[in-house]
């Protein structure tokens, strides 16, 4: 376990001949957080995004379509679980949300043909754009993430990310 701060909420799903219906979040589940904005990333298979992090943002993450491998790593230097990671599979067919706290980097790999990844952000003050975020190489040996791919599709940002 890397932290009790990471909260996983499995969601009940309604399914019929039309498709699926489920609720991604309700305010009563996260009374101490005020969500500021949402982001979506749409990726094709074998796209890997991250590791990205800042020290003030909470991210509520889910898959609205497709299947992802999400890896979250603790970057709190004074923590007993510093640099330990946890893997999650996110799939719209069995929905769940993952609440990732500040000081935890996350990266995700699209495992299906197309994926839609949803972030719901909570932070105080101004949003920290990518210039003020931390980016770490997806294959950093100190994190030792076990990705099921050797040559993922990466952004320029992720190609240029530093090792710890």
| Helix or strand holding residue 158 (H, E) | helix 156-160
Mean of all residue pLDDT scores within the chain: 94
Q: Give 48-74 pLDDT, tens digit per residue.
A: 999 999 999 999 999 999 999 999 999
In this structure, of 46-55, 130-139, 145-154, the range with the lowest mean pLDDT score is: 130-139
Neighbours of 53 (CB within 10 A): 23
How many angstroms separate the Cα of 107 from the Cα of each of 17, 20, 21, 65? 34, 26, 26, 17
Position 127 scores a pLDDT of 87
Residue 1, CA distances (Å) to 7, 72, 81, 145, 156 in order: 12, 11, 8, 15, 32
Question: Where does residue 149 rank: exposed (0-12), middle (13-18), buried (19+ CB within 10 A)?
Answer: middle
Token pair listed for 147: 């990705």
pLDDT-above-70 percentage for the chain: 98
- Residue 98 reports pLDDT greater than 90: yes
119, 72, 135, 47: CA torsion to nearest 10: -70
How does residue 156 score in pLDDT terms, banded at 50, 70 and 90?
very high
The highest-level CATH class for domain 7-12+34-160 is mainly beta
């Amino acid at each position: 376990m890397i932290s009790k701060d990471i909260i996983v909420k499995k969601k009940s799903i309604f399914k019929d001949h039309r498709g699926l219906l489920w609720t991604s979040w309700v305010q009563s589940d996260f009374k101490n957080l005020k969500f500021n904005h949402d982001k979506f990333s749409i990726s094709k298979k074998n796209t890997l995004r991250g590791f990205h992090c800042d020290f003030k943002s909470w991210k509520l993450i889910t898959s609205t379509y497709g299947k992802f491998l999400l890896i979250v790593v603790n970057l709190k230097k004074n923590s007993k679980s510093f640099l330990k990671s946890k893997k999650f599979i996110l799939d719209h067919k069995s929905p769940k949300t993952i609440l990732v706290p500040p000081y935890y980097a996350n990266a995700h790999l699209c495992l299906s043909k197309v994926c839609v990844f949803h972030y719901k952000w909570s932070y105080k003050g101004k949003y920290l754009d990518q210039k003020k975020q931390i980016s770490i190489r997806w294959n950093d040996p100190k994190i030792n993430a076990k990705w099921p791919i050797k040559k993922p599709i990466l952004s320029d940002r992720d190609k240029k990310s530093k090792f710890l």
